[in-house]
Chains A and B, each alone.
Chain A
Amino acid sequence: MPSKDAGAMDRHWEKTRNLTFLVLAVWALFAIILPSMASTLNATTFLGFPLGYYMSVQGSLIVFVALIWFQNWRQDKIDDEFGVGGE
């Protein structure tokens, strides 16, 4: 158990939590809001696909993959900043 002072650990958790909320907001946009608006989005085409359809078969999926890698990169930085990253 690392004997870090409580203040530092509170700040570490605050940053972790904010990052998580940001990730969840992006997730909700691509997992819930855009797929429910597919009819509207289909008026536009993207790479030859109707856009709403494209988001549900590929677009949102690509965002999810990128989002996890982004979160892990940011979280590693936060952990290292507070010296709790240790592999």
Chain B
Amino acid sequence: MAIQEAKSGRFIDNLGKVYALYTLGFLVFFAFMALLEKMGMGAQAIGIGFLMFTIAIYAVIGWLSRTAEVDAYYVAGREVPALYNGMATAADWMSGASFVALAGGVYFGGYPYLGYIVGWTGGYVLVNSLMAPYLRKFGCYTVPDFVGTRYGGNVARLCAVIILVVASFTYVTAQINATGTIAAQTLGIPFEFGVWLGLIGIFICSMLGGMRGVTWTQVAQYIVLIIAYLVPIIWMSNKQGFGIIPHFSYGEAVHRIAELEAQYGLKPALEAIPGVSVLVNPANAPEGKGWAMVSLAICMMAGTASLPHILMRYFTTPSVRSARRSVGWSLLFIFLLYFSAPALATLTKLQLLDPNLPTSVIGKAFEEVSNLEWVKHWSSVGMLAVADQNGDGIVQLNEFFMRPDIVVLATPEIAGLPYVISGLVAAGGLAAAMSTADGLLLAIANALSHDLYYKMIDPKADTRRRLIVARVLLLFIGAAAALVASLKLTGILGAVAWAFDFACSGLFFPLVLGIWWKRANTEGAIAGMVAGFVSGSLYLYLVFNKIMTPWFGLDDVRFGIVGMTVSLVAMVVVTLMTRAPSKEIQDMVDEVRIPSGKTILAAGH
């Protein structure tokens, strides 16, 4: 044990060197692949090379971080420096949806979709000011651990576990779906097989090392995903003449697209083709869409501040102050991708629309477009379609069909970049989906092993037994998630939005008021969790199955607003009708508000 301590100490001291070397190694690998492509290596081989190389690295990190200690397994020994925790959180946060689907959503959805971008960044202000520092001071291992201690009793703990499992499970199936899609695309294997292959990669990272393994692989995954997201944008922007960094200069492109949209006309397709869409929403016309955007943003922000896999990342820092600092780093790293996504969507759209560019397809001859290499490639897998529905031999805007999820993955080919860039993007998407799945599976397994098994079923279980239970659960839940994912029930972005709505419906107010309202008691918290979660789910069920028309335009991705409102009212009313919490609990809340000193729960609890 002493040897292990010394070893991990040295590792923490050398993080800068280790990850600089790793980044350099990745860039050398990229250059090597580019060289092989020049020498005539095929696209398939390049794709396989990228996926195998990156997964092998994550596996090595996961193996090296294996641990048999409770503190290391659940909270990475609380020794992750703020900067690296920021990177790990960013990777944990930016899922397959952010990487693969977000730019496509903005491309096709127009202004309301920016709600995801504002919501997924603005939520961190809530995390920082309302949650992270106080939960860190608590010293809990999981989010239900906080609920169980603050409100006391197993009922409250169990409610939190159930909400956590539902929200995280919804989320994780979307990630495994994304992993499977990318693996299947790049390796040319069936989707179902890709799902299981991705899952094996995920297990290697989290099985042996728990939170410690996940933390150090997530840092590595962040580096890959951010390089993979920014390189194509910068490359494409240079080709189009928007300069090295397009972010501040693509305003012109926004105006140009508005002109072209008016010129071509945004009309629905004459005949719909299943699974793919045409462009009908203007890139930038917020008229009357303010509420659609803001209601989505509110759900995403409150969901951010209630999702257990994110909150638990802030339990791994050495102190309250470093927990706060680490939220700052997290948002900075997340911001790098999110303020690039609309730039990517805009530049890709311009590539396709602007007749002055050699890459444009709209207004070209049907024959010519359907013979383009990338059109053939993506059509063959049913993700793109060009159909001359009015029979004039020219591709109209409403005759070009595309699946929104592929905008990011197909961009390098559309822009005519070398295939090595496509391999890089696939590796980045895989890193994004895998890192989020790692974090989510761990959040579920930890809540079940620590809160349900250890705290409620067998409080005398020894360390070894607790960790074995955690690992067995991880296997079991991962397999269940892969099974559900292979059924392909919803799209990637839709399932992710539901996860946020579930989380904020049930957990947002019980967590916030647990810290900010001393009077909040057990009965109130239980009422808040149950009423919020049940009413939100019921509303989702009724609206999704079209049994009821949505209130105020709150459709199935925005049901969190309904759930949260009910949750707040139920919690406040029930709390005020029942007795105030005991003096010990009130003193505990006072103690949580002081950043220094011992945590409420002892280490190894």
Contacts and interface: CB of A to CB of B under 8 A. Distances in A.
Interface of A: 1-2, 4, 9, 12-13, 16, 20, 23-24, 27, 30-32, 35-39, 42, 45-50, 52-54, 56-58, 60-62, 64-65, 67-69, 71-72, 75-76, 79, 83-87
Given A2-B596, A48-B249, A68 B331 contact: yes
Ranked 7 nearest A-B pairs via Cβ: A48-B251, A38-B286, A49-B251, A36-B290, A31-B122, A57-B342, A86-B596
Nearest to A55: B118
Contact of A36 (B255, B291, B332): B291
B456 interface: no
A24 to B, nearest CB: 6
Contact of B114 (A4, A48, A56, A72): A56
B597 A1 contact: yes
A37 B293 CA distance: 10
B254 A20 contact: no
A35 B297 CA distance: 9
A61 B338 contact: yes
Nearest to A69: B328
21 contacts: A1-B591, A1-B598, A2-B596, A13-B593, A20-B129, A23-B125, A24-B125, A39-B287, A42-B284, A56-B111, A57-B339, A60-B118, A61-B118, A62-B335, A64-B125, A64-B331, A65-B331, A68-B128, A71-B324, A86-B596, A87-B318
B327 interface: yes
Nearest to B254: A49
A48 B243 CA distance: 15
B251 A54 contact: yes
A9 B595 CA distance: 11
B290 A38 contact: yes
B121 interface: yes
A24 B129 contact: yes
Contacts of B111: 38, 53, 56
Contacts of B324: 71-72, 75
Contacts of A76: 321
B373 interface: no
B325 interface: yes
A52 B331 CA distance: 22
B339 A87 contact: no
A60 B117 CA distance: 10
A68 B126 CA distance: 9
B215 to A, nearest CB: 20
Interface string B264-305: 000000000000000000001011111101100110010000
B130 interface: yes
B339 A52 contact: no
A57 B119 CA distance: 11
B252 interface: yes
A56 B249 CA distance: 16
Contacts of A68: 124-125, 128, 327-328, 331
Contacts of A32: 294, 297-298
Given A38-B111, A60-B122, A85-B321, 16 more contacts: A1-B597, A24-B125, A31-B118, A31-B119, A31-B125, A32-B298, A49-B254, A50-B284, A53-B284, A60-B121, A64-B335, A65-B332, A67-B125, A71-B324, A72-B328, A85-B595
B86 to A, nearest CB: 11
Interface residues of B, number: 57
Contacts of A37: 290
Contacts of B466: none
A23 B129 CA distance: 8
Contacts of B598: 1
A20 B516 CA distance: 11
Contact of B594 (A2, A49, A61): A2
B349 to A, nearest CB: 14
B202 to A, nearest CB: 30
Interface string B327-346: 11001100100110011000
A25 to B, nearest CB: 11
B551 interface: no
A49 B596 CA distance: 46
A72 B594 contact: no
A35 B319 contact: no
B122 A30 contact: yes
A62 to B, nearest CB: 8
Nearest to B332: A65
A42 B125 contact: no
A61 B335 contact: yes
B118 A35 contact: yes
A52 to B, nearest CB: 6
Contacts of A4: 594
A57 B122 contact: no
B248 interface: yes
A9 B335 contact: no
A4 B595 CA distance: 12
Contacts of B248: 47
Given A47-B248, A49-B254, A71-B128, A84 B122 contact: no
Contacts of B319: 86-87
B85 interface: no
Contact of A64 (B122, B290, B594, B596): B122
A57 B117 contact: yes
B322 A87 contact: yes
Contacts of B455: none
B590 interface: yes
A79 B321 CA distance: 9
A87 B118 CA distance: 32
Contact of B130 (A20, A45, A62): A20
Contacts of A35: 114-115, 118, 290, 293-294, 297
A19 B127 CA distance: 15
